Amino acid sequence: MERTLAIIKPDAIKHADDILYAIEAAGFTIIDKKRIQLTVDQARDFYVEHAGKPFYQPLTAFMSSGPVMVMILSRADAITAWRTLLGPTNSNAARESAPSSIRARFGTDGQRNACHGSDSPKSADREIRFFFPNATVQPLPNSVQIATFLEGAVYPVLTKGLVALCTEKPQNPTEWLGKWLMENNPARPRTIQP
């Protein structure tokens, strides 16, 4: 699973519920989100790679003009999928070539284009850390990795515990199994007292 940063910009915050619905309908998991008001300095720091470009000052002024919603999104190929869902950067162009995209539906123009999306894994890591400094940016395990872990580490121990449970037939099977798992946890080997 890949993660990306998404921002609902000030021009589209009034459509946040519709945008959140579109995000979830496209198969994204929202790992974290918060609604904030950026200061001009925060907007400048976030868009520092655009410093010196003609649109830098208007962009930072716009991004600090009202509340925004920042989110960590996750799914397979999240960066590309999110940018596809957004549509072309210019909302007018999006209305022509991708009329069902978020920018076509909720954006105004090239700058007031409803949402931001990270353009690369490196940018996503930096942008996630900017807004969510305590977030883990490592990718979530995929279904194959989860199945491999369960088959290798969980199922063998659990199977032994269930066999022992069926052999013992205790009064309180749930409590008994919990205690058995604690005593037979391979990650915490038993120590023998001298």
pLDDT in tens, 147-168: 888 888 888 888 988 999 899 9
- Residues labelled catalytic: 116
pLDDT at residue number 140: 64
For residue 16, pLDDT over 60 is answered with yes
* Cα distance between residue 18 and residue 63, in whole Å: 20
pLDDT at residue number 181: 87
Is 132 annotated in a binding site? The answer is no
For residue 143, pLDDT over 60 is answered with yes
Contact 92, 109 (CB under 8 A): yes
Is 83 annotated in a binding site? The answer is yes
Quickly state the pLDDT bin for 193 (edges 50, 70, 90): low
Is 89 annotated in a binding site? The answer is yes
The enclosing H or E element of 75 equals: strand 67-75
What integer is the mean pLDDT of 116-126? 93
The first and second tokens of residue 45, run together, are: 């720091």
Is 53 annotated in a binding site? The answer is no
For residue 192, pLDDT over 70 is answered with no
Is 35 annotated in a binding site? The answer is no
For residue 137, pLDDT over 60 is answered with no
Give the other-Cβ count within 10 Å of 162's Cβ: 13
Homologous superfamily of the 2-140 domain (CATH): Nucleoside diphosphate kinase-like domain (3.30.70.141)
For residue 1, pLDDT over 90 is answered with no
Among candidates 67, 61, 72, which has minimal Cα distance to 15?
67
Contact 31, 3 (CB under 8 A): yes
Residues of the chain with CATH 3.30.70.141: 2-140
The first and second tokens of residue 103, run together, are: 């920018």
pLDDT at residue number 144: 82
